[in-house]
Amino acid sequence: MDELKRRLETYRKLGLKLTPQRLAILEYLENTREHPSAEDIYNALKERFPSMSFATVYNTLEVLVERGLVKELGIDPSKKRFDSFTHPHHHFICRKCGKILDVERNFDITIPAELSDCEVTNFQVVFEGLCRDCKKTD
Ligand code: ZN
Ligand code: MN
């Protein structure tokens, strides 16, 4: 199945109205490892879709997050960032330029005693600091 057909099928399963804008948003997210914000996505696509509003991008992202196709990251204090890479992984965020990098390794952690009566289903490690580029110029 080619990429477009797969994307169409995904939207159909979600019961979402298929619009070229929505397809482009999903395509954009699947093809970047940059963890874009809603603004980044809007700016990247507005030339191709001059009539698309920021609200369309935002609402589409909300639906994609709700249906588990995209993850919303709360690690950037200035704005929500989005990740189409939904399998469990960890992140590094540069505190100067805001770049987010994937950290794909397993950390062996022990569930802390104070959570023993909770059901822990996930955890995320967030590394913070300066990325390679910002470290050079700091
Ligand atoms: Zn940086
Ligand atoms: Mn990621």
**What digits encode the pLDDT tens for the residues 62-115?**
988 988 889 999 999 999 999 989 888 999 999 999 999 999 998 888 889 999
Ligand 2 centroid, distance to 101 Cα (angstroms): 7
User: Stretch 51-57: mean pLDDT, rounded?
Assistant: 93
Domain 87-137 has CATH 3.30.1490.190: yes
Cα–Cα–Cα angle for 99, 105, 108, rounded to 5 degrees: 125
CA-CA-CA-CA dihedral for 47, 30, 92, 76, to nearest 10:
50
Ligand 2 centroid, distance to 99 Cα (angstroms): 11
Going from N- to C-terminal start, the domains of the chain cover 2-82, 87-137
Res. 21: pLDDT tops 70: yes
CATH architecture observed for domain 2-82:
Orthogonal Bundle (1.10)
Sign of CA dihedral 13, 18, 20, 26: negative
**Ion ligand 2: residues, CB < 5 A:** 83, 85, 102
State both tokens at 89.
């992984």
> Are 66 and 109 in contact, with CB atoms under 8 Å apart?
no
Q: Kindly state the DSSP code that residue 15 receives in the 8-state scheme.
A: T
Widest CA span in the chain: 54
Ligand 1 centroid, distance to 32 Cα (angstroms): 17
Ligand 2 centroid, distance to 33 Cα (angstroms): 7
Rounded-to-integer distance, Cα 125 and Cα 85, Å: 16
Ligand 1 centroid, distance to 12 Cα (angstroms): 38
